[in-house]
């Protein structure tokens, strides 16, 4: 009996090792197990991550006074308590404005691993991306000058910028966005899936490993690969049109390519697709099979893939909600009637 048990354990370990090799051959990569390796991978060499920048960036991420209304922060649409999203089919911004293209808010968790930012991939990195929503009329609707005036009006922020960047720092709009991006670069969520790819064959159970095998065999890893299991620009509706493509006018970039959403924490980021028209993960899986792979996934295959995707629920970094500095006499006032 003991010999049989040992034999079963060895066989399971060998099968797990084989699947790890297959996954890596398919282009799947884990978040490194070493904290130093993660920091090296996620830090911007032109603006290295430091504790002072991260803490300041977190405060600015939660700072509603960066918006024209004084009510909307980055966290409004990219809520860190709810998977980094707002759960809406279309993002809601200034004056309760729905995104004019009916685009949903993608998760900010693990966005550091994307090769391009925004659904149409127009931004190359988080520093550039962070500038967009603050200024966009349907989002935070705040001019650059107002943003810098808000931050410069509060001595605590000025001191924190000096601590983070040096006494001679000039607090510009770009520097504010850069600092928010430094914080966002820390929003990484390693999961049991990463433990598995890093060599722990017991990290995923048999059902999850079976789901990973199906995920690879059906071709899902063709687009959902690398560390983010997404994040690159790919053709959308390869073999059939998305059934809700008429909701909103989004057609991708100039080549019709769409930024592939990450599958990490996908159980927390419904509704699905760029226009948030699919409510359940199982329906999203079947629709992707139909329009991208040209296969009609049956219920068993769908359940296997969904079981695997659940293993991508990662450990979130601990976020302590910051106490923000008080406004001063020079802080721009909000016109609640005309704003």
Give the active site residues: 139
Which residues fall within 8 angstroms of residue 304, CB to CB, at 6 or more apart?
Answer: 207, 210, 211, 214, 215
Number of Cβ within 10 Å of residue 152's Cβ equals 17
Cβ neighbours, 10 Å, residue 102: 19
CA distance 42 to 26: 23
Looking at beta carbons, which pairs linking 4-9 to residues 24 or more positions away fall under 8 Å? Answer: none
Please list, residue by residue across 299-311, b when 16 or more beta carbons sit within 10 angstroms of its beta carbon and e when fewer do: eebbbbbbbbbbb
Kind and range of the H or E element at 92? strand 92-93
Which residue pairs, CB below 8 angstroms and at least 24 apart, start in 297-302?
Answer: 297/218, 301/214, 301/218
């Amino acid at each position: 009996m003991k010999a049989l048990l040992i034999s079963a354990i060895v066989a399971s370990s060998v099968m797990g090792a084989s699947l790890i090799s297959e996954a890596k051959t398919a282009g799947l990569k884990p978040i490194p197990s070493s904290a130093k390796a993660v920091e090296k991978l996620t830090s911007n060499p032109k603006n290295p991550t430091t504790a002072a920048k991260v803490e300041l960036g977190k405060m600015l991420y939660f700072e509603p006074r960066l918006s024209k209304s004084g009510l909307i922060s980055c966290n409004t649409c990219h809520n860190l308590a709810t998977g980094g999203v707002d759960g809406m089919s279309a993002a809601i911004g200034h004056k309760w404005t729905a995104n004019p293209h009916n685009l949903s808010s993608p998760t900010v968790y693990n966005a550091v691993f994307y090769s391009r930012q925004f659904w149409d991939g127009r931004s190359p990195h988080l520093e550039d991306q962070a500038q967009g929503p603050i200024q966009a009329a349907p989002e935070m609707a705040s001019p650059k000058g107002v943003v810098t005036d808000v931050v410069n009006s509060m001595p605590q922020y000025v001191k924190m910028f000096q601590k983070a960047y040096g006494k001679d720092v000039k607090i510009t709009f770009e520097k504010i966005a850069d600092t928010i991006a430094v914080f966002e670069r820390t929003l990484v969520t390693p999961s049991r899936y990463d433990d598995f790819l890093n060599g722990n064959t017991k990290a995923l159970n048999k059902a999850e490993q079976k789901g990973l095998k199906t995920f690879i065999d059906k071709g899902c890893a063709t687009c959902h690969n690398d560390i983010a299991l997404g994040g690159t620009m790919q053709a959308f509706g390869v073999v059939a049109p998305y059934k809700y493509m008429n909701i909103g006018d989004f057609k991708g970039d100039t080549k019709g390519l769409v930024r592939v959403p990450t599958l990490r924490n996908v159980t927390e980021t419904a509704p699905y697709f760029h226009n948030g028209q699919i409510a359940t993960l199982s329906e999203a899986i079947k629709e992707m099979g139909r329009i991208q792979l040209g296969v009609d996934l049956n219920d068993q295959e769908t359940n296997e893939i969904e079981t695997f995707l659940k293993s991508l629920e990662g450990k979130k970094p601990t976020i302590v909600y910051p106490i923000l500095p008080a406004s001063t006499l020079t802080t721009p006032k909000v016109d609640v009637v005309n704003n």
